[in-house]
Structure 1
Amino acid sequence: MSSISFVGGSSREPEHAVAGAIVRLFNADRVENGVTADQIESGAWQDNLALLRSGRVDFALVRADQLVGHETELRVVLSLHSHALTILTREQDGSATLADLAGRRVDIGPAGSPMAELAARALAAAGVNVVVSGLPAEDRAQALSDGAIDAMVLLGAHPLPDVRAIDALHGARLIDIDGAAAAAASSDPASRTLTYEPRDSPIAAYGLDAPFSTIGYGFALVARADMPDDIVRMVAESALTRADSLRSLHPALSDIGLDDLGVSTVLPFHDGAVAAFEAAGVPYGTPGTPPGGPGSAVDDSFVEQPGDRLVDGGEGDDAMTYSGERSGYSVTLRDDATVSVVKPDGSTDTLISIERAAFTDGTLLFDIDSANASAAYRLYGGAFDRTPDEGGLRYWIAAIDGGLGLRDAAAGFLASREFIDLYGADLGDTDFVSALYENVLGRPGEPEGRAFWIGYLQEGGARADVLVQFTQLPEFVGISDAALANGFWVA
């Protein structure tokens, strides 16, 4: 008997149990199918995509925002549970709606994280001020319990342990995220990468009186595009024909309907899954349009094809995916906002109303139009010595556009968990200045310059001011502006 392998995540994560539920349903027919399913454990759900792409597993649970850029190599089999954005407050505090949180201290988590980026947009639509922290979830839950903050944002599959803990101590209240708040988050240009699915989250685990609406990142069961159709069809059919059993196997799946299984917001469905949906009479949705087809008023996805092409995305947030690294292509953003892409074979794509071009090593964004964008971009190089991620870059651009000073943004970078993990919590002034010279200018500092900046800090100067000054040096500005002339490169 042949076998196939599945991965969901660590045994401590709900994704492991969800993958186990699929394996259990599939193995109910293993004798008839002549195929058995095995489950392996990964270090965390974030590792699953790499395991799938490397061929070490056949099927993996992958969060939708990780799937962008893999349109040519991967296909969706089933859409499953979500990581729901959850706003948690104490019942005794009296907040029942987003409007009640106006002026309150709402902790949205680490700066630049997908959770913070999503929460900030949703809360901004309701006029709610937010607090950005680098605290781990357990410390934020303690701060809420102690009354140091009025609400906290969580992102994960329900039931969430922190909700149960707060409920046991104070009575938990979960705030609806609907209407304008959900629309504000879902309509942002970043929603192409951060995939949102409106959901009425399950309430049975908390004993609540009514569902609460929210948005979140969907998880999908994914296979490589070359996985045999008959195997994929058997996997999809095992869930479609036993949907009631699927819902009973884990609380995160309790509100999954047949129609939910067939909604893919990023990748096309595998042909084997399509056959299963059609045989079961279950509708399924495939994003985008055929390669090279005309654009539409919704978000379209196009893939690289040979020869000269004119690709018009129309309205919506549209993406073109290329099969190689950016270095193999020559990209020019023209004054009329069209984009010329000379491909490795010498042919040229002309892109009209295309907001992003995805390559195997990153993505070029063409839709960023902010006077503060370059300054925000340079902060990543100065503080982290890396290319920005799209969600974080858009978050900081929006924050600075909204009135956050560049110095305050720099302070947020320096207080972030990433900065502390890179350099340590006890980074001295001398090492801090050395890191800026290397990150920004790519060289050790000259003795006079190093002495000046170290002296400035030792006399009480703020590191955030020094980071801003370094990232605004004409040498660095000239290099970065030239690099950004044809789009903003993100990891």
Structure 2
Amino acid sequence: MTSAAVNRRQAMGAGLGALAAALAGCSGESGPVRRLRLATGPEGGPYNAFGQALAQAVAASGRRIEIVPVSTAASVNNLRKLDDGSVELALAMADAAGDAVLGRESFPRPAAVTALARVYVNYTHLLVPAAGPVRSVKDLAGRPVAAGAAGSGVQVVAERVLRAAGLSDTSATAPAPPPASAPATERAPDPSADERPLGLAASVSALREGSVDALFWSGGVPTPALSELAGEMPLRFLPLDDYVGALRERYAPVYTAVTLPAGVYGLTEPVGTIGVGNYLLARADVPQGVVRELLQVVFERWRDLLREVTAGARLEPRFAISTGEVPLHPGAVSYYRSVYG
């Protein structure tokens, strides 16, 4: 082999080595795409809309994160998935998230979940046909009520409202049933509401058809499915703000008094009700850097994220860090400190 051939081979080897080094440097600098599964809610619901909007916003940001929305039954189901590692991120109502951290009610042991942000407030809706006999929560005794899908946050708040009103069959104050041998004419009427585990679409259909006398929902204002229903039949929205104090005393201050404003759903005057925050949550083992990047997108694009979820809502840091019993993820703490001091 001539000296010229040796020099060419050496030069080619050097060039290939430099190219490999450059490619390795690029790969190390950008890193692989981090895929995060986000437990949302049923198709067509607000959690699902938020999850889809977040996935699109993250993809458009150019960051090496991919959000994969996962349809679920919502809050309780989401928290269980987060705890068992089948998702990395989740949306959940504050009351259910607090139960998960404390190992209370639906959760037999404390769940390992952390919060990234309190993103918006759900408004509790309790609606009945305007022409019907139900004018207060107490009037639901013995009546069929659409009380939220199994595993949803709606079911949690509906159960607690009914319990506070003495209308839940799990209430500690509910009277014992009469002996089975007692004649039917001597039996006291059942004071409990007949809770039906129905999601929003099924609840709307059931109220429209008359197979339930009332519908519980917890979501943004206005909720499109309820606006559509209000356009089809006259509705009455029952006030719930009298129950806020009892719920706060028993379950901590995740419940607040809020108002369904006049004008939505055809309301001619405001209706006081119960507000519950919604949290964006993560497993503690999601890297801090990924959390910081994700929160950058959330705060840059919050208007887009909330547009299809709840009208007029804003996402502010002092609001976002209020996550009650649920500790902030270390990456979230780092983000808020770096941006807001």
State the TM-score, normalizing by the size of structure 2. Answer: 0.62
Of 50-59 and 8-17, deviating more is 50-59
**Could you tell me whether the CA contact under 8 Å between 2:244 and 2:256 is conserved in 1?**
no
1:389-428 equivalence runs, <5 A: none
Alpha-carbon separation, structure 1, partners of 2:52 and 2:261: 20
| Aligned position for 1:264 | 323
Alpha-carbon separation, structure 2, partners of 1:217 and 1:162: 20
Instruction: Name which of 97, 100, 104 aligns with 2:139.
Output: 104
Alpha-carbon separation, structure 1, partners of 2:87 and 2:111: 18
Alpha-carbon separation, structure 2, partners of 1:162 and 1:183: 29
Alpha-carbon separation, structure 2, partners of 1:227 and 1:242: 21
In structure 2, the CA distance between the partners of 1:58 and 1:186, relative to structure 1 (3 Å rule), is same
- The answer to whether structure 1 residue 14 and structure 2 residue 46 are counterparts is yes
| Aligned position for 1:80 | 119
Instruction: Name which of 283, 302, 313 aligns with 1:255.
Output: 313
| Aligned position for 1:277 | 336
In structure 2, the CA distance between the partners of 1:5 and 1:198, relative to structure 1 (3 Å rule), is farther
SS at match of 1:52: helix
Instruction: Name which of 142, 148, 159 aligns with 1:117.
Output: 159
In structure 2, the CA distance between the partners of 1:78 and 1:201, relative to structure 1 (3 Å rule), is farther
Alpha-carbon separation, structure 2, partners of 1:130 and 1:141: 24
Alpha-carbon separation, structure 1, partners of 2:89 and 2:261: 26
Alpha-carbon separation, structure 2, partners of 1:59 and 1:147: 38
SS at match of 2:255: coil
| Aligned position for 1:289 | none
- Residues 275-316 of structure 1: per-residue CA shift (max 9 Å, x gap): 32234439xxxxxxxxxxxxxxxxxxxxxxxxxxxxxxxxxx
Q: What is the CA distance between 1:102 and its match in structure 2?
A: 7.4
- The answer to whether structure 1 residue 2 and structure 2 residue 33 are counterparts is yes
1:234-383 equivalence runs, <5 A: 234-248=293-307, 250-252=308-310, 254-258=312-316, 259-281=318-340
Q: What is the CA distance between 1:251 and its match in structure 2?
A: 2.7
SS at match of 2:294: helix
In structure 2, the CA distance between the partners of 1:280 and 1:212, relative to structure 1 (3 Å rule), is farther
- The answer to whether structure 1 residue 152 and structure 2 residue 185 are counterparts is no
**Could you tell me whether the CA contact under 8 Å between 1:63 and 1:217 is conserved in 2?**
yes
Of 155-164 and 236-245, deviating more is 155-164
In structure 2, the CA distance between the partners of 1:16 and 1:267, relative to structure 1 (3 Å rule), is same
SS at match of 1:9: coil
Q: What letter matches 1:252 in structure 2?
A: T
Alpha-carbon separation, structure 1, partners of 2:225 and 2:296: 35
Q: What is the CA distance between 1:82 and its match in structure 2?
A: 4.6
- Residues 149-190 of structure 1: per-residue CA shift (max 9 Å, x gap): 7x6240332344663354223322323322x421122212xx
Of 200-209 and 80-89, deviating more is 200-209
Alpha-carbon separation, structure 2, partners of 1:148 and 1:29: 47
SS at match of 2:41: coil
**Could you tell me whether the CA contact under 8 Å between 2:35 and 2:66 is conserved in 1?**
yes
SS at match of 1:176: coil
| Aligned position for 1:58 | 88
Q: Which has the higher contact order (CA 8 A, sep 6+)?
A: 2
Alpha-carbon separation, structure 1, partners of 2:47 and 2:323: 18
SS at match of 2:244: helix
Alpha-carbon separation, structure 2, partners of 1:245 and 1:79: 16
Alpha-carbon separation, structure 2, partners of 1:55 and 1:253: 33
Percent identical: 21
Q: What is the CA distance between 1:268 and its match in structure 2?
A: 0.9
Alpha-carbon separation, structure 1, partners of 2:89 and 2:207: 39
Instruction: Name which of 214, 232, 236 aligns with 1:173.
Output: 236
Alpha-carbon separation, structure 1, partners of 2:130 and 2:43: 32
In structure 2, the CA distance between the partners of 1:91 and 1:257, relative to structure 1 (3 Å rule), is farther
- The answer to whether structure 1 residue 27 and structure 2 residue 59 are counterparts is yes
- Any stretches of 5+ residues in structure 1 without a counterpart? 283-491
Q: What letter matches 2:46 in structure 1?
A: P
In structure 2, the CA distance between the partners of 1:89 and 1:256, relative to structure 1 (3 Å rule), is farther
In structure 2, the CA distance between the partners of 1:59 and 1:81, relative to structure 1 (3 Å rule), is same
- Any stretches of 5+ residues in structure 2 without a counterpart? 1-31, 104-109, 168-189
In structure 2, the CA distance between the partners of 1:275 and 1:101, relative to structure 1 (3 Å rule), is same
Alpha-carbon separation, structure 1, partners of 2:306 and 2:249: 30
SS at match of 2:313: coil
1:34-53 equivalence runs, <5 A: 35-45=64-74, 46-53=76-83
Q: What is the CA distance between 1:43 and its match in structure 2?
A: 3.9
Alpha-carbon separation, structure 1, partners of 2:146 and 2:43: 24
**Could you tell me whether the CA contact under 8 Å between 2:125 and 2:217 is conserved in 1?**
yes
- Residues 224-251 of structure 1: per-residue CA shift (max 9 Å, x gap): 2232222111212222233333332x23
SS at match of 1:206: helix
Q: CA RMSD in A?
A: 3.9
Of 252-261 and 102-111, deviating more is 102-111
Alpha-carbon separation, structure 1, partners of 2:156 and 2:337: 35
Alpha-carbon separation, structure 2, partners of 1:168 and 1:255: 24
- Residues 387-415 of structure 1: per-residue CA shift (max 9 Å, x gap): xxxxxxxxxxxxxxxxxxxxxxxxxxxxx
SS at match of 1:215: strand
Q: What letter matches 1:52 in structure 2?
A: L
Query: Which structure is larger by alpha-carbon Rg, 1 or 2?
Result: 2
